[in-house]
Every structure is written in structure tokens, then in C-alpha cells.
Amino acid sequence: MVAYHEAGHALCSELLPSVEKVHRISIIPRGKALGYTLNLPEEDRYLKTKDELLDYLVVLLGGRVTEQLVFGAITTGASDDLRKVHDISRSMITLYGMGTELASKQLPADDYSMSDHTRRMIDEEQQYLTDLAHRRAAKLVAENRTLLEALAFTLLQKEVLEREDIERLVGLYKGQAEPFNGAEPGPARIAAAEAQDRSA
């Protein structure tokens, strides 16, 4: 589950050009995290566009979407991702004026003079952004299932993938739109089942 979750993040990062590239993926537990995907910027940047922030929301939701697609279930593993999605999407509406109806002023959350109607609009605009990102993540993962399986399978084998491993896999599978037969388990699920049998 962790391998697929992290592979989902990595896949979305690699396929969205505005997102910082993945430098390492690990499924070795560290602290409270069962795994992690490390993105590093190629240059220092202080400004982000609306499209770049939306792409980042897609990456954050990529792990959870992958769990649902592959296993038909979601876990608590995405709690930190969901917190970040909430914070970023809220800031996009209330601080950066990146909504559709609420685009001309800041709307600080602690402004008690704000009307109930405005608060409802903030919630609706935020929901629109997160739903949009969720749909985009689901589409990316589903359309690139072969690459997802390759990332997850290699991650199960090696436990840690560095940038060169990721580039090699993406180079092999990018642009291959082979239909994935969802009725059959992918190579990563087969490998996981075999490893479980060996340890039993």
C-alpha cells in the first residue's frame, strides 16, 4: 500500500511539468511517516501561479487516489497530504485571490465581520479547487497505470529510488498508453503477495 501511495505521488510529479521533480522515493519508515517522496526545486522561487498550486494539489492527492484505484480502499496514510491540500486551497481563496467569484480581495479566516454568505462562498470555492485537483489526479494515475506499476514494483524491490532510477523508469514508460487490464493484479501486487507468502 505504501509503495503504491508513494508511486502515485511520484507519477503525478513527473507528469506535471510545473512541479519540482522527485529526487528520492522511499518506503522505509522514518518517524511517523511510513514512506516519503522528496521533491527538490531546481531553483529558488518565491512566486507561484494558480496553475502551479493546482498542480501541487494534484501531486498531494496522487497517493490517496492511487490507493483507491489499486486497492479499492483508502487509508489514514494520506492525512498529512489532506492537511496540506486544505491549507493550500484555503490560502488560494482567502489570501491569494485565486477563486472565481472571490478574486479581488483578501478574506482572512479570522475576520469575524465576514458574512455567512461569504464564508459559504469560500467553502464552495475551496471545494471546487480540491475536487478539480482530485479529478485530475485520478485521470493521470488511471491513464498511466503501466508507469505506476513499474514505479511501485521497483520500489518494492529496492525500497529506495533515487533520481536516476526514476528518470530511467519514466523514460521507459512515458507516453506508453497501453490499456491496463484492471481485472488482473499488477506486477507490484503480485510481488507483494509472493513476499507475504515467503514470510508466512
Domain count, the chain: 1
Q: 137-155: b or e for each residue (b if 16 or more CB lie within 10 Å)?
A: bbebbeebbbbbbbbbbbb
Interatomic CA distance for residues 151 and 166, integer angstroms: 8
Instruction: Quote the pLDDT of residue 184.
Output: 47
From CA 200, how far away is CA 189, in angstroms rounded?
17
The residue type found at 87 is: D
3-class secondary-structure state, position 183: coil
CB 65 within 8 A of CB 137: yes
CATH of the domain at 157: 1.20.58.760
- Mean pLDDT, each 10-residue run in order, the chain (200 residues): 94 92 88 79 76 96 95 89 95 88 69 81 93 97 92 92 90 59 51 56
Q: Which domain holds residue 12?
A: 2-199
pTM: 0.83
Active site residue 101: no
- Order across the sheet with 36-39: list the strands: 36-39, 22-26, 160-162
Residue 37: the pLDDT is 86
Q: How far apart are CA 133 and CA 41, in angstroms?
A: 21
Q: Which of 6, 14, 125, 149 is catalytic?
A: 6
SS3 140: helix
Rounded CA Rg of the chain: 18
Grid cell in block for residue 59: 501531486
Neighbours of 19 (CB within 10 A): 17
